[in-house]
Amino acid sequence: EAEHYPHLPPATPVPFGDALRDTVNFMGVLIGVNVVALVLYLMFAPFAPLIFWSVNGFLLGREYFTLAAIRRVGRTEAKRLRGKHGLTIWAAGVLMAIPLSVPLLNLVIPILGAATFTHLFHQLASVPRGATAPHPPR
pLDDT attached to residue 126: 83
- Amino acid letter, 91: A
- pTM of the complete model: 0.85
Cα separation, 120 vs 44, whole angstroms:
32
User: Going residue by residue through the chain (138 aa), what tens digit of pLDDT does each one get?
Assistant: 888 888 989 888 988 988 899 999 999 999 999 999 999 999 999 999 999 999 999 999 999 999 999 999 998 999 999 999 999 999 999 999 999 999 999 999 999 999 999 999 999 998 555 544 444 444
Number of C-beta neighbours around residue 129 at 10 A: 6
> What is the DSSP secondary structure assignment for residue 108, as one 8-state letter?
T
Cα separation, 64 vs 114, whole angstroms:
6
pLDDT attached to residue 127: 58
Report yes or no: 89 and 37 within 8 Å, Cβ to Cβ: no
Report yes or no: 60 and 93 within 8 Å, Cβ to Cβ: yes
pLDDT attached to residue 128: 56
Phi–psi pair at 81, nearest 5 degrees: -65, -40
Report yes or no: 60 and 97 within 8 Å, Cβ to Cβ: yes
